[in-house]
Amino acid sequence: MAYPFQLGFQDATSPIMEELLHFHDHTLMIVFLISSLVLYIISLMLTTKLTHTSTMDAQEVETIWTILPAIILILIALPSLRILYMMDEINSPSLTVKTMGHQWYWSYEYTDSEDLSFDSYMIPTQELKPGELRLLEVDNRVVLPMEVTIRVLISSEDVLHSWAVPSLGLKTDAIPGRLNQTTLMGTRPGLYYGQCSEICGSNHSFMPIVLELVPLAYFEKWSASML
Amino acid sequence: MPPYTNYHAQRSYPMPDEPFCTELNAEQRALKEKEKGSWTQLTHDEKVALYRLQFHETFAEMNRRSNEWKTVMGCVFFFFGFTALMIWWQRIYVFPKKPVTLTDEWKAQQLQRILDMKGNPVQGLASRWDYEKKEWKK
């Protein structure tokens, strides 16, 4: 989850998120370079007494400041497309979980072998146990086995929602009448928080998502106990 | 393309086409005739007079500083103060009570929970906690 004075992304819990972190570092570096160059040039413009009012053309510099940005954009686009295609790789998931967005909670269905389904409501602030995170905790967490490729199918029963878990690099819209798919692969055990990411009414900020990644044996025990 | 006249000196248009003084009295016209000859014949005062005929202000006069910045900064600070007053009033009379999760006790328990679940252990919060010595890493 987010922590105080955090500046960047949450630590990556999936390989795709690691790639996204590195790509963001790369692109942000380019952005900082361009911004500082522009700021420096602006400061030069503002602190000179020299004037020049008879410029007619500037063919050479215009060529450079067209070609160079094109090259920079290619240097950004290539890693970006690489990650985009990486997200869509064929990876043979071992488990399928379906999640439906409602106003204002998520419901989850594990129907591979049995009919397991439950709702996941946010815990109101008054009912939090000491030390729990306000507006992030839910009554029934999404327990999943770790280090396993999981297919998540996302849709909605009423209006648009979006199922997002930042530390896994996941955000997929929940659209009524449409089934969207995303792939989840958590590398570490633990609790991973996310929040609904598409405005859906008055309690849009109060329908969080909590993934609990556990070893396979615990997952099997949990799913047996939930039936 | 060029601006009107030399009426107000501009740094970006230092050599206007029109001279500053267009109506010249007899003495000034005589001076302009003398200007057509060799300039080494002109005295210093005559050169200054010719300059004043041609240009509204010297470069030094045109580029002089002003006290405008004091007025601007004064207004800026005044509005800072006014805004601060508004924010302070709002905090006391408008904002609701803070939730219980912002008390120090709750924040400490929350931090302990996050460390126990090793939240962000790579480069984030839990990576800065020394689990053996049970203290923050130096």
The residue ranges of every structural domain in chain A are 15-88, 95-226
CA nearest to A185, candidates A155, A148, A218, A133: A148
Q: How many CA atoms lie within 13 A of A19 on its CB side?
A: 14
A164 — phi, psi (to 5°)?
-130, 135
Kind of pairing between the strands at A150-156 and A180-184: antiparallel
The residue ranges of every structural domain in chain B are 7-64, 65-95, 99-137
pLDDT tens sequence across A46-58: 998 887 877 888 9
pLDDT score for B6 = 57
Domain A95-226, what fold? Immunoglobulin-like (2.60.40)
On average, the pLDDT of chain A sits at 95
Name the percent of chain A lying above pLDDT 90: 91
Q: What is the ipTM of this complex?
A: 0.86
Whether the CB-CB separation of A150 and A95 falls below 8 Å is answered with yes
pLDDT tens sequence across A86-143: 999 989 999 999 999 999 999 999 999 889 999 999 999 999 999 999 999 999 999 9
pLDDT score for A64 = 96
pLDDT score for B5 = 55
3-state SS assignment for residue A49: coil
Report which of residues A77 and B133 the model is more confident about: A77
Q: What is the mean pLDDT of the segment spanning A70-86?
A: 97
| Residue of B15, B17, B101 best to disrupt the A interface, most CBs of A under 10 A | B101
Angle at A82 between CA A194 and CA B124, to 5 degrees: 40
CATH architecture for residues A15-88: Orthogonal Bundle (1.10)
Q: What gap in Å lies between CA A211 and CA B47, rounded to an integer?
A: 87
Provide the β-strand partners of residue A210. A193
Domain B7-64, what fold? Cytochrome C Oxidase; Chain D (1.10.442)
B12 min Cα distance to partner chain A (Å)? 6
pLDDT tens sequence across A147-183: 999 999 999 999 999 999 999 999 999 999 999 999 9
Q: Max Cα separation, chain B?
A: 100
A108 — phi, psi (to 5°)?
-125, 145
Q: What is the mean pLDDT of the segment spanning A179-207?
A: 96
pLDDT score for B4 = 52
Run means of pLDDT, 10 residues per run, chain B, 138 residues = 63 82 89 93 94 90 93 98 98 95 94 93 92 89
Chain A residues in contact with chain B using a Cβ-Cβ cutoff of 8 Å: 1, 3, 6, 10-12, 49, 51, 53, 125, 128, 130-134, 167, 188, 190-191
